[in-house]
Amino acid sequence: MTDDTPLLDVDNLWVRFRTRSGVFDAVRGISFTLGRERLGIVGESGSGKSMTGRAVLRLIRPPGMIEADKLEIHGEDILSLPERQMRKLRGGRVSMVMQDPKFSLNPVMSVGHQLVESLRAHEPVSRSEARKRAIEVLDEVAIREPERVFDLYPHEVSGGMGQRIMIAMMLLPNPEILIADEPTSALDVSVQLQVLDIMDKLVRDRGMGLMFISHDLNLVAKFCDRIAIMYAGRIVEICKASELHNAKHPYTLGLLNSVPDLEHPRDRLEVLQRDPAWREAPSVSARQ
C-alpha cells in the first residue's frame, strides 16, 4: 500500500431517515478524504456533522440508511463489509471519542479494567501485557500516577480526566483514524485546551488521521489543518485552517462574526441571515 491512498475516502455520502412524513436527508451527498492530517468538520446542530462521523463507522441505526458511491478506509470498501468485521474495525483501526465521558465509560467497571478489556477485544495479548500497555497509555495522556488511576471507578475521576481516559482507551489499539465528536464540549474552558493539546500531540506523534467534529469554529481553526463547514447536510466551504480569515461563504463569515469576542466588543452581534440558496447549492468536495 502506498502512502498516497488516503486513510479515508468518501464520495457522495448520503444519510437518510424514513419518517412518517417522508424521507429526511441528514447528510446530502458530501465528499471528502482524510489523509494523515487533522480535518475539522464544523456546523450547527442539525447540520449533519455528527451523522457524518457516525456514518463512517456505519453507526447509523435503522430507520437510518447510509448510501455512498465510495466509502473506503485505506482502500478497503467498508459499505459492503459484514457487521462482524465492522465491529473489529470500530475501536480497532478507527476509534471514536464521544462528547461526554460520563456516558461513554461503564460506571461499574474500574478504569483499568475497561482499558484492558477494550485492548484485548482487538488484540490477542496477555492480561499482564495489556495492563502494562494500559498504564503506558494513561501516562501518555498526561495522567499523573497512572497506577492509581488504573484502579479508580469512573465516578471517582473528574470530567477532564475522564475524557483523557477515553482518549487513552481509543488510542490503545493504535488506530489509524480517530473520530472526535465534540470531545471537549462538556468540559470547562481551561481543561478543554489541555485535553486538546494531548489529543493533538498524540495524533501528530503517531501519524494518525483526525476527524474533529465541533460546533466551535475558532477551536477547530486552532487544532486542525483543514476545515470543512457543513450546512444542512452539505459542505458549503472547505479551507485551510490558516486561511480561515479569507473564508468567503456568508455562512462561514456569519458563524465567525456571531461569536462575542472579549477583545473586540461590539454593541450588537451580527445575526446570521440564512439564505435559502445555501441549502440548494451543490456540496463542495473536500477530496484531495
Instruction: Report which of 2, 4, 3, 1 is spatially closest to residue 288, judged by C-alpha positions.
Output: 4
DSSP string, 107-169: TTS-HHHHHHHHHHTTS---HHHHHHHHHHHHHHTT-SSHHHHHT--GGGS-HHHHHHHHHHH
What would the x/- binding string for another protein be over residues 55 to 94, using CB under 8 A? --------x-------------------------------
Residues in the chain: 288
What would the x/- binding string for another protein be over residues 151 to 170, using CB under 8 A? --------x-----------
Tell me the window of 65-73, 100-108, 138-146, 264-272 that interacts with another protein (CB under 8 A).
Answer: 264-272
Q: Decide if residue 265 touches another protein (CB under 8 A).
A: yes
Q: Decide if residue 232 touches another protein (CB under 8 A).
A: no
Query: Residues touching another protein: how many (CB under 8 A)?
Result: 41
Q: Which of 22, 190, 276, 280 touches another protein by CB under 8 A?
A: 190
User: In angstroms, rounded to a whole number, what is the distance separating the alpha carbons of residues 163 and 262?
Assistant: 28
User: In angstroms, rounded to a whole number, what is the distance separating the alpha carbons of residues 93 and 85?
Assistant: 11
Q: Which of 36, 215, 225, 281 touches another protein by CB under 8 A?
A: 215
Q: Which of 218, 240, 279, 282 touches another protein by CB under 8 A?
A: 218
Instruction: Report which of 99, 102, 101, 95 is spatially closest to residue 183, judged by C-alpha positions.
Output: 99
In whole angstroms, how close is the CB of 132 to another protein at the nearest point?
34
In whole angstroms, how close is the CB of 61 to another protein at the nearest point?
11
What would the x/- binding string for another protein be over residues 20 to 49, using CB under 8 A? x---x-------------------xx----
Question: Cα angle at 64 between 186 and 72, to 5 degrees?
Answer: 85
Instruction: Tell me which residues in 192-211 interact with another protein (CB under 8 A).
Output: 192-193
Alpha helices in the chain (DSSP H): 49-56, 83-89, 101-104, 111-120, 127-140, 146-150, 159-171, 189-206, 217-223, 250-257, 276-280
Can you give the binding site for another protein, defined by CB under 8 A?
Answer: 17, 19-20, 24, 44-45, 63, 159, 188-193, 215-219, 221-222, 244-245, 254-256, 258-272
